[in-house]
Structure 1
């Protein structure tokens, strides 16, 4: 028999939700449950309700309806996370393995995206068969929150992100990294920020920033890209500032692992094309759009032999930007690369002092590039004053040749 539902649904509000928040419940399913669902839904397919028929099939048992599994995901979003105030906006389901009757399942859900400004988000639900915890289905659910009059007195009215809003929206990728988190923080002074991260969570300073809306995204995962696309589709994006990168593997090209090389080349090409499609299809502002890619001097200008795959990927980024720029120009979208020299953060955070001094000695201005230098360049390229600049690489090199 099914486990009893909670006495009342959970009630998460706008300020309670964040990517990574999760909930789960377990439920035992028997043939009586499946028969009741068939009666309510009208789906009397014998593979679900006729044990004799199912026994002659490849599955040898009756199976739980796919729609029943979606219904259990609906129970999670409506009763557990976010609960009472949720309104379902869309569902996408994948069925990974047949779920036989009887079975016991664990229904696990995780918030993968939350936009506090327009009260919309994404929940990923996975059904696991017990006791072996084999996944049987994955269900992605877009949702919004509604609040009754009592709750509206509690919550601050979200900012309007329409075209007429004085605060436009910028998507910052890689916001858990050093450069990305700094840019997301500084740009949030003037923009609403959709901040993506992959494995590492965002710094607390961003999570507590009401102008920053975290989204967990792996740019190699098509489902994650679909969720991100759905989230920003109706949002008037001013631009995308792309900081995400799959690390900087040590070693030359002759020693690089094929998978590592493929990841670096994908980061410098396919992922940028995906972002260009995202910006093209979003509800852009009247100024068009800005695609700003954070490259490196170690790409085309000064490639490093001991960072061969990284240098090759960043070099490819520049070529991709130059090719995308004329394609997007007719839609008033500019594409540019910012290529800073060494910054003492991220992969350079633990560089020994001798190497830092050697790097400074090659820069005529006598200092390293700073995060503020990068922010200033990004701010300019986001501004209307840069509307005729596209397909270019802006080197932050301190006059280094």
Structure 2
């Protein structure tokens, strides 16, 4: 049986251009307002009591502000992009009331796009019949069409020329964001890449598929890097399918939230230490003997700008874990130098990734404004720095922390 439900648009990220404008017109009836009051529990007489409202300065009932903002949800969910939308955030400023029955126009203009996170920034407005702005704000929306179909079968390393040895790199947390970009960058530079993931198998296979379609070699490997036994099993699988990894990039990271120290529990610190210290120790202990036997290798650990200078507030658990990883990385660099295993670090500044996509756009603009190079870091900036430290051009560098901050951190 066919549904009479309105059909949403199916725009993809590449279908949407900066400057595009989407509009709809609407008026809200007394029945609409009563229905919203029943759902929201907001039965303020200004909205639902005609007799009371007639005695106010407005003369009749006023539409709930949040009911007005539902027009932005309609624009996002039905028009831009429609079916593939995931609403990430919306700020609102109410300039003047809208009366029940008053005709209004909702407008969404695309003002920015982020390839790194497949997100859109929309300038959102509601205008009255006389074209005055009554509601304004900014929305951030993710376009979910970027997840590709998984590869049809496991990717097997292609043969190499006689006398050549393919370099193999293992990248943890490589199914999304910065890790995925690092995997793609290393593949373009000739590495066979082991794409590690924890739970996002389809996304890891999408990264593999993209690398293979571009002529590279890659395969996806599941492991919770916080589990030493799982890491050992993954290492054996990588060696069997791709060869011995002589490059390891530790980019797996857990979720973080901004909370003051007084609200943090020790479990919050442990959660970050599990990823930033325990997981890195697991992967490095698993691969270091193989690198030593192969004559050397390169490990690159992803840190953060927070380890240099004054960190942002509200991130004490994250800052502590990253600082601990800085110490571990230096200790490894000193201890494993005789084995030909170099250990270096990359510390990015604020970067657009899935971990930061919920940030308000003004945060990115403010950070760019205070950066000497007048922009924030991209995942490509970080990946290129990682690739340099993994490669032969940095053969005499170990224990180094490279700040990819556009000049914010100068040492």
TM-score by length of 2: 0.56
Alignment-derived partner of residue 80 in structure 1: none
Q: Is the contact between residue 250 and residue 302 of structure 2 (CA under 8 Å) also seen in structure 1?
A: yes
Alignment-derived partner of residue 37 in structure 1: none
Q: Is the contact between residue 174 and residue 196 of structure 1 (CA under 8 Å) also seen in structure 2?
A: yes
Alignment-derived partner of residue 200 in structure 1: 200
Q: Counterparts in 2 of 1:2-401, with a 5 A limit?
A: 116-117=155-156, 158-159=158-159, 164-189=163-188, 190-201=190-201, 202-203=203-204, 205-208=206-209, 209-210=211-212, 211-233=217-239, 235-282=243-290, 288-401=296-409
Pick which of 273-282 and 203-212 moved more.
Answer: 203-212
Cα distance in structure 1, aligned partners of 2:331 and 2:193 = 27
Cα distance in structure 1, aligned partners of 2:342 and 2:350 = 26
Cα distance in structure 1, aligned partners of 2:232 and 2:197 = 15
Alignment-derived partner of residue 51 in structure 2: none
3-state DSSP of counterpart to 2:252: coil
Asked which structure has the greater CA Rg, the reply is 2
Q: Is the contact between residue 341 and residue 368 of structure 1 (CA under 8 Å) also seen in structure 2?
A: yes
Cα distance in structure 1, aligned partners of 2:372 and 2:295 = 37
Post-superposition CA distance 1:349-401 (Å, at most 9, x none): 23212111211122111111112211221121111121111111100111114
Alignment-derived partner of residue 134 in structure 2: none
Alpha-carbon deviation of 1:348? 1.5
Cα distance in structure 1, aligned partners of 2:289 and 2:387 = 23
**CA shift in 2, pair 1:161/1:241, >3 Å:** farther
Cα distance in structure 2, aligned partners of 1:247 and 1:344 = 15
Q: Is the contact between residue 172 and residue 195 of structure 1 (CA under 8 Å) also seen in structure 2?
A: yes
Post-superposition CA distance 1:190-238 (Å, at most 9, x none): 1100010012232553242431210111122233123113224563322
Cα distance in structure 1, aligned partners of 2:166 and 2:380 = 22
**CA shift in 2, pair 1:299/1:322, >3 Å:** same
Cα distance in structure 2, aligned partners of 1:283 and 1:396 = 27
3-state DSSP of counterpart to 1:395: strand
Alignment-derived partner of residue 147 in structure 1: none
TM-score by length of 1: 0.57
Which structure 1 segments of 5+ residues have no match? 1-113, 119-157
Large movers: runs of 4+ above 6 Å: none
3-state DSSP of counterpart to 1:330: helix
Cα distance in structure 2, aligned partners of 1:169 and 1:203 = 17
Alignment size in residue pairs: 248
Cα distance in structure 1, aligned partners of 2:275 and 2:350 = 20
**CA shift in 2, pair 1:165/1:277, >3 Å:** farther
Q: Name whichever structure is richer in helix by fraction.
A: 2
Alpha-carbon deviation of 1:182? 1.2
**CA shift in 2, pair 1:159/1:342, >3 Å:** same
